Chains A and B, each alone.
Chain A
Amino acid sequence: MTNFKAALEILRNAEVNFVVVGAYAGVLHGSSQLTRDLDICYERTSQNIKRLVTALASCNPRLRGAPSSVPFLFDERTVSHGMNFTLETDFGDLDLLGELSGLGQFPDVARDAISIELFGQPCRVASLDAIIRSKRAAGRAKDLNALPELEALKEMTRKK
């Protein structure tokens, strides 16, 4: 199982620019759904990719579900040439998203992200509106299934 606190600490200590997205972001907003992985949208600048690769180097990142015979080198070149990665690490499952359906890349996601206190540290989390937009755009059954609660949550927490 993913150790969310440890994962976030590793990224924050390395000063990686990222926004928490996906189901875990929904949980932080108040969704009662469960998720096993941490999804982050990372900034795709060469400096940030370097920080990301350095941060995860000691966590043994590998392609989730791939046979060990599949070659995979997690380095700056791989991240620069790719976009989204579903990884398994020593602290658990981590999805690195350079781009999200319905939202775009880091600058778009960060624009209306909110800062919350999480495990005693500030953490940027996608807005509830953004999570809803991305799940609707992704359109997979599990995303669509999450929408009724997220939309109700938005209504429940709307400023009076």
Chain B
Amino acid sequence: MSSVAGKLTAAEQKRLYELVLNPPLGSKVEAAKNYGVDLTLTLRSLTLTPTERSQEMESALLLMEEIQKAALRIDR
């Protein structure tokens, strides 16, 4: 599979879910988990198309901006 191919098949998603839960010793997946990366977020992103990934990221940024604005209002 390619990361930009879009939505995963059910079989690919199952394989990756198992990989994320039980990464092989010495793998990059294990290294990322040990570093503190939440790879379930990455896996969720892989279930989306590139356009959906972009839209979801923009939504998250908008939410963060709204929270920051609200926090500033409370501080005043």
Contacts and interface: CB of A to CB of B under 8 A. Distances in A.
B37 A149 contact: yes
B60 interface: yes
B65 A1 contact: yes
Contacts of A30: 3-4, 42, 45-46, 53
Interface residues of A, number: 32
B19 interface: yes
Interface string A149-160: 101111111011
A20 B56 CA distance: 18
Contacts of B16: 156
Nearest to A24: B54
A27 to B, nearest CB: 5
Contacts of B31: 148, 151-152
Contact of B61 (A1, A119, A149): A1
Given A32-B38, A156-B29, 7 more contacts: A28-B4, A31-B45, A148-B28, A148-B31, A152-B29, A152-B31, A157-B2
19 contacts: A4-B58, A27-B45, A28-B50, A28-B54, A30-B45, A30-B53, A31-B45, A34-B57, A116-B4, A148-B32, A151-B28, A151-B32, A152-B33, A153-B3, A154-B3, A155-B28, A155-B29, A156-B16, A159-B1
